[in-house]
Structure 1
């Protein structure tokens, strides 16, 4: 298999592995239907679903219709019948090589190209790739999108990536992190590199610290087996949070293209300092209440004792010129008080306040980038309190809010997978993760896990509905930092 750069092409076939799974039902099928309703899918594209479950075309279309009615707003379902007619289905057990020939016959011969979305258990990656090769579904006009998890550590990730690389060159491999499809995450690049006011201040001289929080209110739900083998560090930090950190911290790329953007991200990931023992906190939730509703503890949901962490907080450092001495505080967990993903950039205070003699106190500026559940950007600025100032000069921190739906009233709020699926079909790799990024992420994560194991560190308990173990608060407060809540 050649590793030369392939000519760009827009696929006229899309093959969905795991087509009857939860991800397909909630995200993939609704995203594709929404794209079709807006005329963004090529009229000639055909979509083939495959999974182990036994269905014919009509049954799969009924499954898709029920999924769309449940997870896609009615106003975004225009032309749903047309979309459903694009769909067909082929039952496949990926461990049975002979089934791939029937799948290839169902897909047919694409005129322009085939895009494959692979969402399967990690154990099925290798047999699936072998089956694709043997059946002619891995040719020069085929690209493949890989949904996580891509391994559980660096070694297993390399095994999967090696297997995929035997059939596909890097320029036709699209590793998916759905956070990169979110509008506010992409807006982070626009905020930094399309506004003169921020980039001159985006460094250790002007920024005190950065916080990244990914908080969930849910517990295990339907992910019992996967999550207990994974834990918060692998499930959230290794991919989503490190990608957010890289976008916050990276140097300006030469241009907005896949190579330039990903080159800068991987430099940051390779600059992450090894985390010491006193710079991490792990936790596991116990029974408590979320939104006034009683919820069980992790061990109760699991049905047995476990040392898997459902919460992790990390104080990270980037050893380069721009960020030397600036801590990056990462925090993620399940059964926390609210669902939120946000980035907080805390600027330093003014070096000298001219208002101090008049009784006024300045508060450092803070930039908060909300990613979910609401997409917004808030910049806090100091302003004078209205009045005659006979008893002193009053200052107050006031927020300047940019709510994305308000700022851009026209466009629909999109599912992150809409952008990613369209980019996969059209061959645009900028919002996908390159192999060297994945391996740099795993190398840093593996070192943290090795430190935990070497110190026999076990998760501290925290009550569901709280912000995690008290040690996580202390992790920041011993530096004079308060978590943004």
Structure 2
């Protein structure tokens, strides 16, 4: 009897239709460039350990680090050990660590060092023999975008990017994907000259968060919300990513990038696409991308950009009970920098479902609190059969999807205040992941790294989505470049006064999460 051919990296013993069974990666290894950075230490290495601890990686899995530090493999193993101890989500187990540490390797070198990449190829080939990785390797580029071309060139020159037989080679790229449309296309040309489109995984870690994925379940698994998810019932949508931290230690990355490029172009426009898209035919990668691309292609910024956008820079203030310096006083920054630390924009979606419904996106550093949320604010009831005094404290109904830190969903609606008088006020009904489920949600990087090793691409934006996002944002960035400097806002507040004025022009106000 003939056997069906199994895709590389897929566990042949698992029925993909049975969602009760965990998805376990087949034989493979992961090579991380930039292992000395915060991302690798705080997120990537702990995520690999947590996947190992949960039994989702094969026993022979290999983790290889590449950096210019003068380390031996034992030194790198200690770095991984410390990172796991400090940042892993699951408990530290000696048995798990021993299994993981046996597959750890380190290659010392710089990105322009041919010999170093030749040694990396030798290391990978040795792992195929000693650990049974089967020629399947993913290359994680946790490095500045300026280093992508030379790393890709070296992976091609050394033969590391070319698999043999049924094996696979994949590349993982961290945002930002360029700094405008032209650079994004240039980056795509470089990477696609070395790897096939299906082997390029662009990481947007927000798409790996449980709450973001729950947005799809909330919309399409329930009859309750979808009938009112349109311009007939929705007044507007606010998508907020607020951080209470500053830029300390990230001058080399952040200066010249700013809040719009760093967050709105990727995280927030992806959240918008998931919020506004039509129901996909299925939840496979192709169907999801098709619907997201339709939405992004219909998004436009109003013509009068100055009236419908705002930007700011934080100044000295108080945060968490301590005094903090302003953006221009942060170490390593140009004191005349015009890079924004707060950005807010209004966009409209030219589709039948959303015509006339503005979407407001905002992100900033040193704001009043750390929160990421999607707030769908509904129109007022067309008629309220109450005295005006009975509903003077009643706001608009709202459905708020909390992405972080208190993952869950809140529904705001009006209810009668106890007593003899008819008085209606806002109340909330709350769903929290921590209360409803006993198992803690995996970190986003756990899900995304596992998806890379499985070759499962639904949560990764394709190049078309990246280009559409830059087409939306480029006019805003170009306008700002020619119109003065960002407005000041004090650290610990909700941003510059111009952001409130932007909303007031539309007769609306920002939510206070």
Measured against the shorter chain, the TM-score band is over 0.9
Rounded to whole Å, the distance in 2 between the matches of 1:52 and 1:482 is: 50
Paired residue for 1:285? 314
Rounded to whole Å, the distance in 2 between the matches of 1:271 and 1:312 is: 21
Residue ranges of structure 2 left out of the alignment (5+ in a row): 1-5, 10-25
Task: Work out whether residues 17 and 118 of structure 1, in 8 Å CA contact, stay in contact via their aligned partners in 2.
Answer: yes
Paired residue for 1:136? 159
Paired residue for 1:229? 256
Deviation for aligned residue 1:364: 2.5
Rounded to whole Å, the distance in 1 between the matches of 2:183 and 2:389 is: 62
Secondary structure class of the residue paired with 1:330? strand
Deviation for aligned residue 1:8: 4.6
* Deviation per residue, 1:385-416 (Å, 9 max, x gap): 334x3xx423232211111111111x223211
1:401 paired to 2:417: no
Paired residue for 1:331? 362
**Structural mapping, 1:335-350, within 5 Å:** 335-350=366-381
Paired residue for 1:178? 205
Task: Work out whether residues 17 and 116 of structure 1, in 8 Å CA contact, stay in contact via their aligned partners in 2.
Answer: yes
Task: Work out whether residues 92 and 103 of structure 1, in 8 Å CA contact, stay in contact via their aligned partners in 2.
Answer: no
Paired residue for 1:158? 185
Paired residue for 1:440? 468
Paired residue for 1:466? 493
Deviation for aligned residue 1:216: 1.0
Structure 1, 133-142 or 19-28: larger mean CA deviation: 133-142
Paired residue for 2:114? 97
Secondary structure class of the residue paired with 2:500? helix
Paired residue for 2:14? none
Task: Work out whether residues 53 and 90 of structure 2, in 8 Å CA contact, stay in contact via their aligned partners in 1.
Answer: no
Q: Taking structure 1 as the reference length, what is the TM-score of the superposition?
A: 0.94
Rounded to whole Å, the distance in 2 between the matches of 1:293 and 1:230 is: 27
Rounded to whole Å, the distance in 1 between the matches of 2:82 and 2:91 is: 16
Paired residue for 1:416? 444
Secondary structure class of the residue paired with 1:98? helix
Residue ranges of structure 1 left out of the alignment (5+ in a row): 1-5
Deviation for aligned residue 1:51: 1.6
**Structural mapping, 1:59-98, within 5 Å:** 59-73=75-89, 75=91, 77=93, 79-98=96-115
Does the C-alpha gap of structure 1 residues 434 and 445 become closer, same or farther in structure 2, counting only changes over 3 Å?
Answer: same
Paired residue for 2:224? 197
Task: Give the total of aligned pairs.
Answer: 475
Paired residue for 1:3? none
* Deviation per residue, 1:76-135 (Å, 9 max, x gap): 556223222221111131112232111011111441521221111212111111111122
* Deviation per residue, 1:162-194 (Å, 9 max, x gap): 111011111111100000111101111111111
Structure 1, 287-296 or 354-363: larger mean CA deviation: 354-363
Deviation for aligned residue 1:203: 0.5
**Alignment equivalent of 1:385, drawn from 395, 417, 430:** 417
Secondary structure class of the residue paired with 2:257? helix
Deviation for aligned residue 1:139: 1.9
Secondary structure class of the residue paired with 1:129? helix
**Alignment equivalent of 2:402, drawn from 370, 376, 400:** 370
Rounded to whole Å, the distance in 1 between the matches of 2:256 and 2:60 is: 42
Does the C-alpha gap of structure 1 residues 97 and 213 become closer, same or farther in structure 2, counting only changes over 3 Å?
Answer: same
Secondary structure class of the residue paired with 2:426? strand
**Alignment equivalent of 1:118, drawn from 130, 137, 141:** 141
